A and B are shown apart, each in its own frame.
Chain A
């Protein structure tokens, strides 16, 4: 969707925070690199100041969006308020169009990091971890997770406009994850949960 400078591409494709930092430090000073540094500091810092290390705050907010998707209507007002706060933390309210390509790739990087965990032995396991999921089951669960974090939650909150960039980044990332993923994502969108 958005093309970026070739020098920045390794930074946005790498998912390990330490390796990303090394790449980031090697980048020449420019507006794009400055913005990437700003987002890096925002993403990998302990926002709750609990002294935790190696925090991927944006990944945590992704997970929160998915949890909020599953929350019932009883706490709807609180839920909508929280979704709004999370989307702001994830800079979805950034109106500067020049930032859009970098945010798009940062969002894709977040989705990629989530998807990198979707092949672990315990992921999507059944019946209290007794039965491990097959490869296909893991892929379908990953599609469902990504859909809930992006389009699913935007439908619940009714903020598709604000989350436009986020949704397209997640959709594009899942489409590259496996051949069946885009179809599955579209199927979930059609079902309009």
Chain B
């Protein structure tokens, strides 16, 4: 029995072992991979994946999917930049409005899935197309540059590190932690709290495990779906702000195919595509694996096209492993 418990614990945390092996391989081929500059760079790079993956985790936990997050990010980019640059809005107000808009798009997705009964993949695919189109319409297909140049404080989210402040300068290397990485960590802490310590998290697992039983036990399943898709929209909006802060200019072509990378992170982290199973700690590992993989491949001069092939294979392997283990369990 003890042996089985050890095996179960090992299985649950095996993803971290994969991460360590991956790091070791990249460090072996390029010692700079473990350099401070690269670690800081990876933490910046993974931050918006990490933030968006929290909402996606909730959605996949209820056996749903949200294909619209890439378009939400692009629209948030364009709307936020448009409000600031073309309409002269205050930065914080523009951010607030953009994030509220992203959350409302999530609510719209929830409405289509829960109230109309459109399959999640179709509903969110429709949203993806509509909101990508809207972002093109609003920007005229052109980038909106100079967001950070004209509003230097906007760089706070992705460009700033703790060492901007004197108190952290004294701490040396610790002060290099980018603000966006701290935002990601806070978001993961909130996501983990929701899943593990709140009734909402319990409801998410219950709906993913057995929707009808959840309904009979008093969970308002439709309302929960609204909430989950709204959360997915909210986190995508936040990721969009971080991305805009990083790139400094808004582009309607931003985050194309982003949803598949986020799904890869989540599924790689052990969240079952059948719903009801998954942990936030696994998702963190999934995000770090994908971030390190991208960074490692860039450092090894792997072409962008090959990177796409590798990422696609990782998604196929992660989903395949989940399906295979379910099939083996059933046979």
Q: Which residues of A118-151 have CB atoms within 8 Å of chain B's CB atoms?
A: 118, 120, 122-130, 136-137, 140-141, 144-145
User: 11 A-B Cβ contacts within 8 A?
Assistant: A52-B220, A57-B217, A60-B206, A60-B218, A67-B206, A67-B209, A72-B279, A120-B212, A123-B212, A128-B64, A145-B209
Q: Chain B residues with Cβ under 8 A from A127's Cβ?
A: 273-274, 319, 323
CB B10 to nearest CB in A, in angstroms, measures: 11
Could you say which of B4, B199, B330 contacts A192, with CB atoms under 8 Å apart? B4
Could you say which of B120, B199, B210 contacts A63, with CB atoms under 8 Å apart? B210
- 3 nearest interchain CB pairs? A60-B217, A55-B218, A117-B212
Q: Chain B residues with Cβ under 8 A from A48's Cβ?
A: 199
The answer to whether B281 touches A129 (Cβ under 8 A) is no
CA distance A51 to B9 in the complex (A): 39
Listed in ascending order, the chain A residues whose CB lies under 8 Å from chain B are: 46, 48, 52, 54-57, 59-60, 62-64, 66-67, 70-75, 78, 113-114, 117-118, 120, 122-130, 136-137, 140-141, 144-145, 155, 191-193
Q: Chain B residues with Cβ under 8 A from A78's Cβ?
A: 197
Is B86 an interface residue, CB under 8 A from the partner? no
B164-194 interface code vs A (CB 8 A; 1 in, 0 out):
0000000000000000000000000000000
Could you say which of B64, B211, B218, B275 contacts A57, with CB atoms under 8 Å apart? B218
Q: Chain A residues with Cβ under 8 A from B214's Cβ?
A: 63
Given pairs A120-B212, A125-B274, A128-B64, 6 additional interface contacts (CB within 8 A): A71-B196, A74-B281, A120-B211, A128-B65, A129-B63, A192-B4
* A193-B217 contact in complex given A126-B274, A126-B323, A144-B329, C-beta closer than 8 Å: no
CA distance A117 to B281 in the complex (A): 31
* A129-B64 contact in complex given A70-B277, A117-B212, A193-B4, C-beta closer than 8 Å: yes
The answer to whether A129 touches B119 (Cβ under 8 A) is yes
Is B121 an interface residue, CB under 8 A from the partner? yes
The answer to whether A126 touches B326 (Cβ under 8 A) is yes
Listed in ascending order, the chain B residues whose CB lies under 8 Å from chain A are: 1, 4, 8-9, 12, 60, 63-65, 119-121, 196-197, 199, 202, 205-206, 209-214, 216-220, 273-277, 279, 281, 319, 323, 326, 329-330
The answer to whether A117 touches B210 (Cβ under 8 A) is yes
CB A190 to nearest CB in B, in angstroms, measures: 11
CA distance A191 to B8 in the complex (A): 12
The answer to whether B216 touches A113 (Cβ under 8 A) is yes
CA distance A192 to B7 in the complex (A): 11
Do most interface residues of chain B lie in helix, strand or loop, or is the interface mixed?
helix
The answer to whether A128 touches B218 (Cβ under 8 A) is no
Q: Chain B residues with Cβ under 8 A from A193's Cβ?
A: 4, 8
Q: Chain B residues with Cβ under 8 A from A75's Cβ?
A: 196
Q: Chain B residues with Cβ under 8 A from A63's Cβ?
A: 206, 209-210, 213-214, 217
CA distance A141 to B210 in the complex (A): 10
CB A65 to nearest CB in B, in angstroms, measures: 11
The answer to whether B1 touches A192 (Cβ under 8 A) is yes
Determine the residue in chain A with the shortest Cβ distance to B196: A75
CA distance A120 to B214 in the complex (A): 12
Q: Chain A residues with Cβ under 8 A from B12's Cβ?
A: 72-73
Q: Chain B residues with Cβ under 8 A from A117's Cβ?
A: 210, 212-213, 216
The answer to whether A54 touches B326 (Cβ under 8 A) is no
* A122-B330 contact in complex given A67-B202, A127-B323, C-beta closer than 8 Å: no
CA distance A140 to B277 in the complex (A): 17
CA distance A118 to B211 in the complex (A): 10
CB A61 to nearest CB in B, in angstroms, measures: 8
CA distance A115 to B134 in the complex (A): 46
The answer to whether B213 touches A59 (Cβ under 8 A) is yes
Q: Chain B residues with Cβ under 8 A from A52's Cβ?
A: 218, 220
CA distance A114 to B330 in the complex (A): 20
Determine the residue in chain A with the shortest Cβ distance to B211: A122
Q: Chain B residues with Cβ under 8 A from A70's Cβ?
A: 205, 276-277
Q: Chain B residues with Cβ under 8 A from A140's Cβ?
A: 329-330
The answer to whether A128 touches B213 (Cβ under 8 A) is no
Q: Chain B residues with Cβ under 8 A from A56's Cβ?
A: 216-218
